[in-house]
Amino acid sequence: MDRNYQKTVYACFLGYIVQAVVNNFVPLLFITFHRTYGIPLSRITFLVTINFGVQLAVDLISVSFVDRIGYRASMILADLTAALGLVSLAVLPGILPDPYVGILVSAILYAIGGGLLEVLVSPIMEACPTPNKEAAMSLLHSFYCWGHVGVVLISTVFFAVFGISNWKILAVLWALVPAANLLMFTKVPIAPLIADGGKGMTIPELFRTGIFWILMLLMVCSGASEQAVSQWASTFAEQGLGVSKTVGDLAGPMFFAVMMGTSRVIYGRYGEKLPLRPVIAGSSALCLFSYLIISLSPLPALGLIGCGICGFSVGIMWPGTFSIAASSLPVGGTALFALLALAGDVGCSGGPTYVGLISSALGDDLRKGILCAVIFPILLIIGLLLLRLHGRRASSART
C-alpha cells in the first residue's frame, strides 16, 4: 500500500479512539456531577440518551452534506466538535447559572462529533487501497475497543493519583486526542469512495434495493447483539466476582471490550484465510451460546464468563457487515454507510431497552431478559441466509 495512505489508515485508527473517548469518558463522571452540582441522577442519565440521540440524528442528516463539503472537511468538523465538547465540559458548568445546561451543551457538541465519526471513518478506510479490506475494517473497529479500555484505565489512574476533583483537567487532556486527529486529517490523502468520480446511490435508490434491507437487518442485529449484554456487563461482574458496584462498572465493560477487540484483531490478522460470511454466521451461533450461558447458568461467575464469550462473538459483526455492504453495493456511497451507522445505533439503543423491558415484565429477572435476546443472533443468521439466497438469484438472473 502507498505509504501516504498508510498515514490515512493510522488517522482512521485514531478516529475510532476519539469516538471511544466521546462515548466512554463522561459516564465515568456521572456520580461526580451528582455530588458536585447536586444534579439528580435521572437528569444525568438523560445525557446518555442525548448523546446517542444526537448521534442518530447526525447519522441521518450527514447524508445531505458530507458529499457536498467533502470527507476531509467533514472529518475536520467531526474532530472539532468533539474537541470543543470536551473542553466546554470543563468550562461551561462553572460559568453558566445552571451547571446542567453547560454539561448538556457539551454533550450535544461532542455527540455531533461522535455521530460524524461513525459515518465517516469506515468509508474513508474502505476507500484506502488496503490489500484485504475485510481484515482492515475489522482491525479498524478494534481500535474503538482499545480506546474504550484506555479511556477507563487512564481515567481511573488519573483520578487515583490526582483526585477526582481534577476531572476538568483530564477533560481538556482528552480533548487533545480529537485535536491531534484533526491535524492528521488536514494532511493525509483521502481516496474517493467511488472510483472515476462516480456518484453514490441516493436514499430512494437504496430503499428500492432489496439487498439494502437485508444489510439493515444485519446491522440492527449486530448492534443489538453487542449492547444487549454489554450494557449489563457491570451487573454480571458485580454478581460473579462479588465486588463493589464501582469495581464491577470497571471490570465488566472492560472485560467485554477486551474480548471484542481481541476477536477483531484476530480477524484483522488472519482475515485473508477466513471467509467473512461463514465467520459471522459462526460468531452469531457463538453469541447465541453465550446468551444461554449467561441466562441459564446457576453460577454467577459463569455469567461473567458468558459476557466475555459474548464480547468475543460480536466483535466481527459490525465491521463485517460494513465490509459485506461495501462489496454488495459498491456504489452505495455515503448514504449507504450513513444509514448502516443509523441502523447500528438503533440496534445499540434498542437491544438493552428490549432486555430491560422483558426483564421488568418477568419480575425484574435480568437473566430471562438476556434469554429472550437470543432473537438478535438468530435474526442475524437468517439475514445471512437471505443474503446467500439473494446472491444465488442474482447469479441465476445473469446467466
What residues does each domain of the chain span? 1-190, 192-399
Distance CA 15, CA 144 (A): 9
**pLDDT < 50 regions, the chain:** none
C-alpha angle with apex 101: 98 to 105, nearest 5 degrees? 150
Kindly calculate the radius of gyration of the chain based on its CA atoms and give it in whole angstroms: 21
The CA-to-CA distance between both ends of the chain, in Å, stands at 36
Say whether 192-399 and 1-190 share the same fold. yes
Instruction: Look up the pTM and report it.
Output: 0.89
Kindly tell me the sign of the dihedral angle through the C-alpha atoms of 308, 310, 313, 318.
negative
> How many angstroms separate the CA atoms of 311 and 229, rounded?
8
Q: Please give the full DSSP string across 74-115, using - where no structure is assigned.
A: HHHHHHHHHHHHHHHHHHHHHHSSSHHHHHHHHHHHHHHHHH
- In the 8-state DSSP scheme, what is residue 202? P
Q: Which CATH class is domain 192-399?
A: mainly alpha
**Nearest of 196, 246, 212 to residue 324 by alpha carbon:** 212
* Cβ proximity of 202 and 368 under 8 Å: no
Distance CA 178, CA 14 (A): 8
Q: Whose grid coordinates read 457536498?
A: 68
Spatial separation of the C-alpha atoms in residues 118 and 264, rounded to whole Å: 17
Angle between helix 99-127 and 333-361 (nearest 10): 130
Note the CATH number of domain 1-190: 1.20.1250.20
- Per-residue confidence (pLDDT) for residue 286, from 0 to 100: 96
Contact 119, 131 (CB under 8 A): no
Judge contact between 100 and 43, C-beta under 8 A: yes
- Residue 197: alpha-carbon gap to chain centroid: 30
The answer to whether 287 and 310 have CB atoms below 8 angstroms apart is: yes
Torsion angle in degrees (nearest 10) through CA of 384, 388, 391, 397: -140
Residue 151's pLDDT is 92
Give the pLDDT score at 249.
67
Contacts (Cβ under 8 Å, ≥6 apart) of 249: 234, 237
